[in-house]
Amino acid sequence: MHMVSRSSNDYERARLAGIECCIEPAFWSGTDKQHAESFFDYFEQIIDFETRRAERSAGIDHYVTVGLEPKEANYPEMADRVMDHLPEYLDRENVVGVGEIGLDQGTPEEEEAFRRQLRMAEERELPVIIHTPHTQKPQGTERLVEMIEEEDVTEERIVIDHNTEHTIDISLRTDCWVGFTLYPGKITDETAIDLLEEYGTEKMLLNSAADWDPSDPLAVPKARDKMLDRGWDREAVREVVFGNPYEFFSQSPNFGYEP
- Whether 25 is in a domain gets the answer no
Beta bridge partners of 180: 206
- Whether 133 is in a domain gets the answer yes
pLDDT at 197: 98
- Whether 9 is in a domain gets the answer no
Do the strands 95-102 and 21-25 form a parallel or antiparallel pair, or are they unpaired? unpaired
pLDDT-derived band at 40 (thresholds 50, 70, 90) equals: very high
How many structural domains does the chain have?
A: 1
- Whether 255 is in a domain gets the answer no
Contact assessment for residue 255 and residue 64, using Cβ atoms and an 8 Å cutoff:
no
- Whether 60 is in a domain gets the answer no
- Whether 237 is in a domain gets the answer yes
Residue 164 has what DSSP assignment? -
Cβ atoms within 10 Å, residue 56: 11
CA distances from 171 to 88, 158, 176, 186, 255 (A): 31, 11, 7, 16, 25
Q: What CATH number does residue 107 fall under?
A: 3.20.20.140
d(CA 65, CA 45): 12
pLDDT at 159: 98
Predicted model pTM: 0.97
Please give the torsion angle defined by the CA atoms of residues 87, 98, 58 and 162, in that order, rounded to the nearest 10 degrees: 160
Enclosing domain of residue 84: 65-249
pLDDT-derived band at 22 (thresholds 50, 70, 90) equals: very high
pLDDT-derived band at 62 (thresholds 50, 70, 90) equals: very high
- Whether 15 is in a domain gets the answer no
Q: Torsions phi, psi of 155, nearest 5?
A: -65, -30
pLDDT at 181: 98
Residue 23 has what DSSP assignment? E
Which H/E stretch holds residue 128?
A: strand 128-131
- Residue 206 in 3-state DSSP? strand
d(CA 70, CA 110): 5
d(CA 155, CA 145): 10
- Whether 147 is in a domain gets the answer yes
pLDDT at 69: 96
